[in-house]
Structure 1
Amino acid sequence: MDWTGLVFETIDMRSFSNLWFWIALAVFWSSNSHWVLGVPFDMVGRARRQGGQAAQDLEDMVRIQVNRRLFIVEQAGLWLVAIVSALLAMLASLGFWYDIELAQALFLLGFPMSLVGGLSIAAAERIRGQGLTGEALCHKLAVLRFWVQVIGMIAIFVTAMWGMYQNLAHGVLG
């Protein structure tokens, strides 16, 4: 047996029966719920508890991230929407029409993340438009985190159900 055959026999390259896919999925959603608008959520708790410099640091970090994201949206937003839409449509077609499991897995990661991206941009626009600071800013970030977690839980559930279906339909061992 050659080297590549041994690797492909040892490491299952199908997405939904691969332990690494499930680890990556958990890390992906855990990271996304911790980093809200590019700001670690523990900064929100620290700003609420301590105030003062911690609150100022949070406001500065949020301002930088909001301005950065909205600049990208203003400069290339239409192109980003077109490219992401085309990519998701391609992954959905390849995955669910042509039954390519890797495309299914990438779509089940990418589609919910596009929803999170849209929510984040809407929150960034509200934060900058309303000039949120202090407790109002903390509340907005907490609400955004809540919805990111809801989307993540639904995405993990749907991915798990689809993955179990795929494993049962195609057989994990065969």
Structure 2
Amino acid sequence: MLHLSVTLDLATDATSAGHMLADPRYVEQKVVASGAIEHQVDVTGTADEAFTVATRRALPSDQIPAQVRGFVGNRIDVRLVEAWEAPQPDGGRAGTVVVEIAGAPVRLTGRCSLQPVGPAASRLVYDGDLQAQIPLFGSAVEEAAARAIRGALGVEQQVAERWIADHGRAEQP
């Protein structure tokens, strides 16, 4: 098992960041930017309450070490579910995250949080445990999966920066 923690700093308040995370257009942009060959996005609920983001994406398996590529083939199907609780008065919120690679015994489970750090700044944190149940190659697969997840979250940071630049802060009541 490998512990993984990734932090994204967002140049917008937590309430606006929550609206961004719940916007299907934003979610689709980050999935496409991750290199998805095929994808599906489903957002249920609203940013003003609890919401769930579920995505499926097919990615090329070239990031997986050659010795374990036989387990997954030439593409990997990644399912991600983020279940966000309703926001706190300051816009912060907590949730859970699960990432699974279909057809491979690889799974990440953990917590996610959106924290205000200033009037125009917030922090998105993913913290969880990654486990690959593959004899002999489990740790190599965990390391490769961790690199892929970190890479996808790095892309998400770039997409979020563009989104915030294009959309600005949400109007506050």
Query: Over alpha carbons, which structure has the higher Rg?
Result: 1
Give the TM-score of the pair, scaled to structure 2. Answer: 0.28
Q: Which of the pair is proportionally richer in helix?
A: 1
